[in-house]
Amino acid sequence: MAEHEEETEEVTEIVFTDEDGQEYHYYQEMVLPVNGDEFALLVPLPEEGHAHGCDCGCEDDEACFAKIVRDEKGETIYAVPTDEEFDAVQKAYDAIFEEDEED
């Protein structure tokens, strides 16, 4: 999937385009440092003109983790984490909320 970023006032929009040209819009909710790498929690943005809870299916995409890497130009690329990286990120993410529950 190809991706690019568009800066808005408060949200960085990340757009992934699949091989069929379908675009998927996400925003970066948080960044998790894990084992020397950074991973973004990407949350779907509702489609333009749709309200939250509109029942049209536009919110069916799920949040996902993506590995943040830099290309040779220093630009951010969001990559699919390996299974091992995903497991480590999921543990780190879960630990954040376990700490919150203990407080």
Give percent above pLDDT 90 in the chain.
52
pTM for the predicted model, two decimal places: 0.73
Quote the DSSP letter at residue 53.
T
Q: 95 by DSSP, 3-state: which?
A: helix
Q: 94 by DSSP, 3-state: which?
A: helix
What per-residue confidence (pLDDT) applies to 12? 77
Q: pLDDT for 20-66, tens place per residue?
A: 998 889 999 999 999 999 999 999 987 765 455 555 555 556 889 99
What per-residue confidence (pLDDT) applies to 46? 77
